[in-house]
Amino acid sequence: MALRPIDNALPITPERPKKQTKISALPTKKQQPEFGLVNDENKASLPPPADATIDYIPSENLKPITDPESKIQGLIEGLDSKDWTKVCESLNAVRQFALYHSSLLHPILEKVMLVLVKAMKNPRSALCKTSIMASSDVFSAFGDKLLDPTTDAFDSLLLQLLLKASQDKRFVCEEADKALAAMAKSMTPLSLLHQLRAYVTHANLRVRAKAAISISNAVSKMGLEDMKEFGLVSLVQMAVDKLNDRLPEAREAARNIAFCVYQAYTENEEQKQESWQTFCQSNLPAIHAQSLVKIASSQ
């Protein structure tokens, strides 16, 4: 028997699909970039490994080396190491040798200076700073003995110090300034002037300024005879060139150079201003002579 449809049955409607939960596109914790470093594929990249801890020991806290004669060979090997931390340790040993056992270090001075230059060029700040600190102690210990006409090791070291003193990294810049001051203090002014004169025309304006400051420090310790040996006219021309330099510290150094020459030149002159004016007018263009006379009269 056929079944009759039920009249009051409700029509069957298809079940509405459930609303899917919207998934956030934010990266998970593991996906989120760390330290602000993201590579080209938008994946997290790890920060560079941290430098090992390096102690920056003040010169006055360095101690003599026990049995230095037997350890000098180990120093040479350490300076040649490919491990930068060992090089740092060896540079600190260089400082000890320089301050307390300089006679043992003297035969390898050229090698030491070349290692200092190489370390200053290294991108690791710890190695760079340690090498600059070592250069200060080497300057203090050896002074003019670092000047060897058969090698350009000192010239390379001087250039690197001027470049580091011109950097934006404050702690490197300040340490390089200290090294340049130690250099000016330990070396005879005349010898140092011959080394520095090439850098007052350097393309880098900061290097020019640092060179001018070092020259100013050297000239302030010179007497008239040393100035004459270097060349009075050369000194005042150097000062004139820097009076219009872009950096104020270069201009200030130039004024100090000019005034030091003025003081030495007129030390035994009764008519100081007239004598200085005559000298300037005889050796410089009128506008430059006027600038130097004005500097002398303003002091």
267 in any annotated domain: yes
If one counts the domains in the chain, the total is 1
Domain that holds residue 261: 216-299
Q: What is the 3-state secondary structure (H, E, C) of the chain?
A: CCCCCCCCCCCCCCCCCCCCCCCCCCCCCCCCCCCCCECCCCCECCCCCCCCCCCCCCHHHCCCCCCHHHHHHHHHHHHCCCCHHHHHHHHHHHHHHHHHCHHHHHHHHHHHHHHHHHHHHCCCHHHHHHHHHHHHHHHHHHHHHHCCCCCCHHHHHHHHHHHHHCCCCHHHHHHHHHHHHHHHHHCCHHHHHHHHHHHHHCCCHHHHHHHHHHHHHHHCCCCHHHHHHHCHHHHHHHHHHHHCCCCHHHHHHHHHHHHHHHHHHCCCCCCHHHHHHHHHHHHCCHHHHHHHHHHHHHC
270 in any annotated domain: yes
283 in any annotated domain: yes
- Express as a percent the part of the chain with pLDDT over 90: 71
Residue 18: half-sphere exposure toward Cβ, Cα within 13 Å: 3
Report the candidate in 285, 286, 284 with the shortest Cα–Cα distance to residue 261. Answer: 284
The pLDDT tens digits for 242-262 are 999 999 999 999 999 999 999
272 in any annotated domain: yes
29 in any annotated domain: no
299 in any annotated domain: yes
Q: Averaged over 213-224, what is the pLDDT?
A: 94
pTM comes to: 0.79
The pLDDT tens digits for 28-59 are 433 333 333 333 333 333 343 445 577 889 99
Give yes or no for residue 87 having a pLDDT over 70: yes
195 in any annotated domain: no
290 in any annotated domain: yes
Give yes or no for residue 164 having a pLDDT over 60: yes
Per-residue model confidence (pLDDT) at position 273: 72
